[in-house]
Amino acid sequence: MPLSKNKIKYIHSLEQKKTRKEERNFLAEGPKLVDDLLGHFPCHYLAATNEWLNEHSSIIADEIAVVTTEELSRASLLKTPQQVLAIFEQAKHNIELEKAQRSLSLALDDIQDPGNLGTIIRLADWFGIEQIFCSPGTVDVYNPKTIQATMGAIARVKVHYIPLPDLIASLRGIPVYGTFLDGEDLYQKPLSEAGLIVMGNEGNGISKEVENLVSHHLYIPNYPQKRQTSESLNVAIATAVVCAEFRRQMIIPKQL
């Protein structure tokens, strides 16, 4: 069955947060990503080239359409459409507070860029961080740009939306880390195995309200050290450097 105009319109409507919220659906494109998500999220619709479908004989989806590359281009949100796109149902995860109390988690305070959020989910997966807590003002995790940037990690990392002060109150007792330009050198501090790492908004950093709840102020040393510059790091980059150091200290704990 070829792609109807209505279907294409529906696919494009999933660029809008409002529609995604009403429909509880999201869009994913490309073989690697769709492969990773199938089996983790119910698939309501899948459109793929004959070639792709021949290699995937046991797909479970409510509706499957064989499409030409040209039809796929019309439906796709990508510059370079790739063989397959699919509509999945959004996950409903419960917050696992006990797990958060005995492991490392991330909290994102109003991250705005969908690519940054996706990249952070991908690196959380690499560093074995299972839960990410987003302030309600953080960009929607089901934004197609976020989903694409996760490269499939969204199937493994659980993302929750919750006011961060409420979360921190529930986690009472665990260390809360944040990065600040006047914080203490990340490499000079022993880091805990369980804790919450808060990362702030791209332009404004961590909000005042959340900053008051941060127990450990960290600083990523630049080089040469502490030179005066106007520069800063992209939030996903800063998250990666901090998470890598937490994990390095867990792997090589006695050397610090």
> How many other CB atoms sit within 10 Å of the CB of residue 227?
8
> Whole-angstrom Cα distance, residue 155 to residue 152?
6
Judged by CB under 8 A, the residue of 99, 181, 212, 221 near its own copies is 221
> Whole-angstrom Cα distance, residue 237 to residue 163?
24
Classify each residue of 103-138 as buried b or exposed e, where b means 16 or more C-beta atoms within 10 Å of its C-beta.
bbbbbbbbbebbebbbbbbbbbbebebbbbbbbeeb
Contact pattern for its own copies over residues 232 through 251, marking x by CB under 8 A:
xxx-xx--xx--xx-xx-xx
The DSSP annotation for 85-143 comes to EEEEEPP-PPP-HHHHHSSEEEEEES---HHHHHHHHHHHHHTT--EEEE-TTSPPTTS
Judged by CB under 8 A, the residue of 4, 51, 222, 253 near its own copies is 222
> Whole-angstrom Cα distance, residue 132 to residue 159?
5
Judged by CB under 8 A, the residue of 9, 24, 32, 40 near its own copies is 32
Q: Nearest CA to 111 among 143, 81, 79, 86?
A: 143
Judged by CB under 8 A, the residue of 36, 109, 110, 140 near its own copies is 36
Q: Nearest CA to 33 among 118, 92, 111?
A: 118
If binding is defined by CB under 8 A, does position 29 make contact with its own copies? no
- Which residues in 149-208 contact its own copies (CB under 8 A)? 149, 151-153, 156, 187
Contact pattern for its own copies over residues 96 through 135, marking x by CB under 8 A:
-------------------x---x--xx-xxxx-------
- Which residues in 37-96 contact its own copies (CB under 8 A)? none
- We find the least distance from the C-beta atom of residue 56 to its own copies, in angstroms, to be 16
If binding is defined by CB under 8 A, does position 228 make contact with its own copies? no
If binding is defined by CB under 8 A, does position 223 make contact with its own copies? yes
Q: Does the N-terminal peptide bond of residue 114 adopt cis geometry, omega within 30 degrees of 0? A: no
Q: Which residue number, 67 or 191, has a Cβ lying nearer to its own copies?
A: 191
Q: Which residue number, 12 or 247, has a Cβ lying nearer to its own copies?
A: 247
If binding is defined by CB under 8 A, does position 20 make contact with its own copies? no
Q: Interface with its own copies by CB under 8 A: which residues?
A: 32, 36, 115, 119, 122-123, 125-128, 149, 151-153, 156, 187, 220-225, 229-234, 236-237, 240-241, 244-245, 247-248, 250-252, 255-256
